[in-house]
Amino acid sequence: MLLLRLDRGHGVGCLDDRDDGDHCHHRDRGHVGRLLNGAGVTADISIVIPAYNEGPRLAETIASIASTRSTNARIEVVIADDQSTDGTPEYLRSAWPDLSRLPRLDVVFTRTQERSGVPRARNHAAARATAEILFITDAHVRFSEGWDALVFEHLRDHRILAGAVCQANTTFVGYGCRLVVPFMGTYWNRDPISQPGQVQIAACPATVLTRELFQRLGGYDNGMIMYGAAEPEFSVRAWLSGAELIVVPQLRVEHLFKPAEERQAFIRAVRLYMVCNALRFGLLYASEAGALQLLRYYSLKFPNLFAEALARVGRSDVWDRRAQLEAKLERPFSWFVEHFQLKDSAGGDIS
Whether residue 146 is found in the same domain as residue 29: yes
The three-state secondary structure class of 41 is coil
Range of the domain at 112: 1-154
Query: Could you tell me the pTM of the whole model?
Result: 0.89
**Rounded Cα distance, 224 and 230, in Å:** 6
What are the residue ranges of helices labelled H in 167-302?
211-217, 230-240, 260-285, 288-301
pLDDT attached to residue 258: 85
pLDDT attached to residue 225: 95
Instruction: Give one DSSP letter per residue of 284-297, joined into a string.
Output: HH--HHHHHHHHHH
Q: Which of 154, 175, 205 is the last residue of a domain?
A: 154
The three-state secondary structure class of 75 is strand
- Upper half-sphere CA count for residue 102 (Cβ side, 13 Å): 25
**Rounded Cα distance, 161 and 209, in Å:** 6
Whether residue 117 is found in the same domain as residue 179: no
Residue 176 amino acid letter:
G
Q: Which of 154, 186, 213 is the last residue of a domain?
A: 154
Is residue 79 within 8 A of residue 51, CB to CB? The reply is yes
Burial class of residue 259, CB neighbours in 10 A (0-12, 13-18, 19+): exposed
Cis peptide, bond prior to residue 182, ω within 30 of zero? yes
Whether residue 165 is found in the same domain as residue 31: no
Whether residue 173 is found in the same domain as residue 315: yes
Whether residue 168 is found in the same domain as residue 141: no
C-alpha of 214 from chain center? 11
pLDDT attached to residue 191: 97
Q: What is the CATH number of the domain that holds 215?
A: 3.90.550.10
Whether residue 147 is found in the same domain as residue 264: no
pLDDT < 50 stretches in the chain:
5-39
The total number of structural domains in the chain stands at 2
